[in-house]
Amino acid sequence: AARSKSGVPDVRERTLIAVKPDGVQRRLVGQIIQRFEQRGFKLVGLKMLQVSDDLLSQHYCELRTKPFYPRLQEYMTSGPVVVMVWEGHKVVQASRTMVGHTNPLEAQAGTIRGDFSFHISRNVVHASDSLEGAQREIQLWFQKKELLNWDCFDQTLTCEV
Residues that are catalytic: 126
Q: Residue 121's binding partner, choosing from ligand GDP, Mg ion, none, with beta-carbon cut-off 5 to 8 A by kind?
A: ligand GDP
Task: Give the residue with the Cβ less far from Mg ion, 7 or 70.
Answer: 70
Minimum separation from the CB atom of position 127 to Mg ion (A): 8
Q: Mind giving me the DSSP string for the chain?
A: --B-TTSSBP---EEEEEE-HHHHHTT-HHHHHHHHHHHT-EEEEEEEEPPPHHHHHHHTTTTTTSTTHHHHHHHHTSS-EEEEEEESTTHHHHHHHHH--SSGGGSPBTBHHHHH---GGG--EEE--SHHHHHHHHHHH--GGGS-----TTHHHHT--
Is 129 one of the binding residues for ligand GDP (CB under 6 A)?
yes
Site map 49..88 versus ligand GDP, x via CB under 6 A: --------------x----x--xx----------------
- Please choose, out of 5-13, 117-125, 128-136, 144-152, the segment that lies near Mg ion by the rule CB under 5 A: 128-136
96 marked ligand binding residue: yes
Contact residues toward ligand GDP (CB under 6 A) are: 63, 68, 71-72, 102, 120-121, 123, 126, 129
